[in-house]
Structure 1
Amino acid sequence: MKKGLNIVITLLLIIGLTWIPKTIVPSAQAIVEPELEKTVLEIIRQHPEVLIESVQVYQQQQQEKQEQFIQSFLSQLKTNPQAIIADSPITGSLNKNNILIEFSDFQCPYCRQAYETVKEFVAAHDDVTLVYKHFPLSNIHPQGIPAAKASWAAKQQGKFWEYYDNLFEKPDRLGEELYIEIANNLNLDMEKFEEDRRSKKADLAIAKDMQLAQKIGIRGTPLFVFNDRFLPGSIPLSTLEEALSP
């Protein structure tokens, strides 16, 4: 490992000593770059292990950072849950013993399955507060973000959970027609609804949830955080019951 680090340092020194920004001397970079590239490639050819070692060190550092963040996240959820929940929609108040955080995507079939389980669980336990965090997987679910933005707009008029129910109960109809239909059925102010769901604030709110999910290391949906436990996938009711604090 020490040898690998020494080689990395050598590469950095070479780059630092020979690279000249184009903004300082426009013609210098064109002259130096080929020689620099040749030198660096030669070192890599002679010591390919340095790349593997460097990647391993980087991955270990990233894993340690993620673990530290998760511990901080769980600690804050206990001591100052409002800081984690922020402006996310919740059921009931925070003065309850159990806070269940759901990272979800309205177009995800596994989230749809989990929806039924969570709904039954929360209805059966008055001491549980459900918190919803947006994590739309837009690369595979094209309606994930539009549905999230529509639900965020409904929240601005106090109708998030009603909108949430409608989206999950009509998974095959996700799209503009449904978003308008639900808003009308809930008697939302349509002008405000349209303005809110197309606003920068909606984008920022959803992005904030997604950034939190990424820092935690979530790669799929749904994922639930419940009493120090991370529960991925379409979990059975028994798993939630087991995690319930007395």
Structure 2
Amino acid sequence: MVKTGKRRITSESTKECYSKVNGVGYFEPNGGCSKDAEITVGTKVLDQQHIAARIDGQEVSVKALDKELQLVLYDIAEMEHKLRLNKLHEMIAKTAKDGQEIEVMLPVPEPPRIDLDYGGRAARGNPEAPITIAVFCSFQSPHCKSFQPTLRRLLSDYSGWVRQVNFDFPLKFHREGIKAAVSAKCAGEHNIFWEYHDALYAKTPNLGEKSYSQTASSLLIDDKQFKTCIGDMNYKEVVLGDQEIALGLGLTNVPVVFINGLYLKGARSFEQYSYWIEKELIRLDIDPQQKYTWKQQKDTENQLPVTDLPLALVGVSESSIENKSKALIEVNGQKAQNFSLGQSVLKDVFLKRLKGHYAVIDNQGSLERLLLQGEEGNIIPLTLSYQHDEELRKRIEQPQGEKGKKLIEPAGVLTLGQEWLAKQLEQREFLEAKFIEAEMEVEGHHLMRLEGVANNEFFTALGFEENDVLLRVNDSWVHSGQNELWSALTSGKVIDVAFMRKGLPHRLQYVVEENGYFDEDLGK
């Protein structure tokens, strides 16, 4: 009998030495600074202080070589581990008898830890999370696209403990790779980087000028400003800088993930990432089973000094969507403006957090309170959420019940601007005519196939293609007798859609973005 269940990881006290090679920082675990340190390459043990060569009298040690090759050496070590593990399972299958207890003690190779600079990058999740998941990806990569559901699950299951940051690594053969990355950064100017990021992956591989413009339009981005940003390739050097970092590390493909710097190459299972996240939590003396306690629940910041800057907080709009809360602030007595979390209010002054009756601002590194004031002040809670209730989620994911096959994870979450959607639905009769009866039947009715939607703004924004066959909207079938798509889009809740494309199942989710409470009144 092979022991199964969750692995128990014991924390080990390790000495770490920090050094830099070619501008990249490295942590060397397990006594890497020791003169007696050794490294195993294949079956041969090498003294790291061994001199590999002398170049014009200058010595090159094995240790120096291994720093340059540590990612490649780890790839080899993982390959060796996999070969040994497979052989071990073969031996167990051949020799083990029923009822025998088997304990597998084959050690898992420890990934090298790389020190990356996350400064100035958009982060998803808890900005103060102890674990950072750094992702090197290209928007044109199908592997990066298929990896997105795993990322979303990690952010959900380890909510509060982890955050995600993005590094652009468009590969040479990705013709739209650089421009797609630039377009996402242009969207970031409008504080919707992650919504646009998700939309691009949902539409991969159909990337290009039209998809960028349509995605921007559905997210209510000013089209002229957005197109100018892409046309001028404003962020090209930033994207190429990320690419240079990746190449400097020796990366050759995507995706590559670093969990607090721990190197993991290629798209992997949720369980593999979970293993290293939990090991990191334990290293930081955190119980992986413990729920994160959000600091906002303990209002320890109500004792911060009140700012004397020329600012007046006249409104607060709180959202359950990460980084979507907004504040209405008068600056230097001028007309109030709408500010999002992280946005600059004055030079070297940033909106840090919203606490209902006050805002926390970062004033040149010092935290201060900006109190809500004036009769104009309003606190407007927004209830929008990415989550279905538990019972609905079960019905969506397992339409045939507990014993039925579970649906695939959503390939993406698309955010749709409320104003844009309302305008599109004005032509609902025209849009409904795009649904044609398909051959397959369910509940005594024909399923519905999309026809003539190739250049339609509405269906393209929703990620549909010509001849897609819709299956379900949330927990309801779509057929000639009913189509819940329209009512779902106007429900104000997350919408889950399953469909078939070229014989394969697909799944997407949509969130209709409510206008901020102040958005419509700023121009008045």
Same-fold call, TM cutoff 0.5 = yes
Tell me which of 114, 117, 120 is aligned to 1:87. 120
Please tell me whether the aligned partners of residues 103 and 213 of structure 1 are also in contact (alpha carbons under 8 angstroms).
yes
Find the aligned partners of 1:142 and 1:60 in 2 and give their Cα distance: 39
Find the aligned partners of 2:225 and 2:113 in 1 and give their Cα distance: 36
Provide the residue aligned with 1:140 in structure 2. 173
Please tell me whether the aligned partners of residues 227 and 243 of structure 1 are also in contact (alpha carbons under 8 angstroms).
no
Taking structure 1 as reference, are residues 85 and 227 closer, same or farther at Cα in structure 2, changes over 3 Å only? closer
Residue type of the alignment partner of 2:272: T
Provide the residue aligned with 1:131 in structure 2. 165
Q: Secondary structure at the match of 1:121?
A: helix
Q: CA deviation at 1:219?
A: 1.0
Tell me which of 148, 152, 173 is aligned to 1:115. 148
Please tell me whether the aligned partners of residues 107 and 174 of structure 1 are also in contact (alpha carbons under 8 angstroms).
yes
**Which consecutive unaligned segments of at least 5 residues does structure 1 have?**
10-56, 68-72, 78-83
Identity %: 24
Aligned residues: 185
Structure 2 residue 120 is matched with structure 1 residue 102: no
Q: CA deviation at 1:167?
A: 0.8
Residue type of the alignment partner of 1:98: I
Taking structure 1 as reference, are residues 95 and 178 closer, same or farther at Cα in structure 2, changes over 3 Å only? same
Taking structure 1 as reference, are residues 189 and 66 closer, same or farther at Cα in structure 2, changes over 3 Å only? farther
Runs of 4+ in structure 1 over 3 Å off: 59-67, 73-77, 198-201
Please tell me whether the aligned partners of residues 224 and 232 of structure 1 are also in contact (alpha carbons under 8 angstroms).
yes
Find the aligned partners of 2:241 and 2:65 in 1 and give their Cα distance: 20
Taking structure 1 as reference, are residues 64 and 75 closer, same or farther at Cα in structure 2, changes over 3 Å only? closer
Q: TM-score, normalised by structure 1?
A: 0.66
Taking structure 1 as reference, are residues 200 and 142 closer, same or farther at Cα in structure 2, changes over 3 Å only? closer
Q: CA deviation at 1:228?
A: 3.8
Please tell me whether the aligned partners of residues 149 and 198 of structure 1 are also in contact (alpha carbons under 8 angstroms).
no
Kindly report which structure 2 residues correspond to 1:76-225, keeping only aligned pairs within 5 A, or say none. Answer: 76=115, 84-126=117-159, 127-137=161-171, 139-199=172-232, 201-225=234-258
Query: What do the CA deviations read for 1:179-229 (whole angstroms, capped 9, x no partner)?
Result: 000000000112221222234540121012112112222111000000342
Please tell me whether the aligned partners of residues 182 and 234 of structure 2 are also in contact (alpha carbons under 8 angstroms).
no
Query: What do the CA deviations read for 1:64-88 (whole angstroms, capped 9, x no partner)?
Result: 3575xxxxx95755xxxxxx11222
Residue type of the alignment partner of 1:125: Y
Q: TM-score, normalised by structure 2?
A: 0.32
Structure 2 residue 264 is matched with structure 1 residue 231: yes
Q: CA deviation at 1:97?
A: 1.7
Greater displacement, 191-200 / 92-101: 191-200
Question: Relative to total residues, which structure has the larger strand share, 1 or 2?
Answer: 2
The one of the two structures with greater contact order (alpha-carbon pairs below 8 A, sep at least 6) is 1
Please tell me whether the aligned partners of residues 66 and 216 of structure 1 are also in contact (alpha carbons under 8 angstroms).
no
Find the aligned partners of 2:158 and 2:231 in 1 and give their Cα distance: 36
Q: CA deviation at 1:120?
A: 1.7
Question: Relative to total residues, which structure has the larger helix share, 1 or 2?
Answer: 1
Find the structure with the greater CA-based Rg.
Answer: 2
Please tell me whether the aligned partners of residues 66 and 215 of structure 1 are also in contact (alpha carbons under 8 angstroms).
no
Residue type of the alignment partner of 1:132: N
Kindly report which structure 2 residues correspond to 1:31-110, keeping only aligned pairs within 5 A, or say none. Answer: 64-65=67-68, 74=113, 76=115, 84-110=117-143
Please tell me whether the aligned partners of residues 139 and 177 of structure 2 are also in contact (alpha carbons under 8 angstroms).
yes
Find the aligned partners of 2:153 and 2:63 in 1 and give their Cα distance: 40
Residue type of the alignment partner of 1:106: F
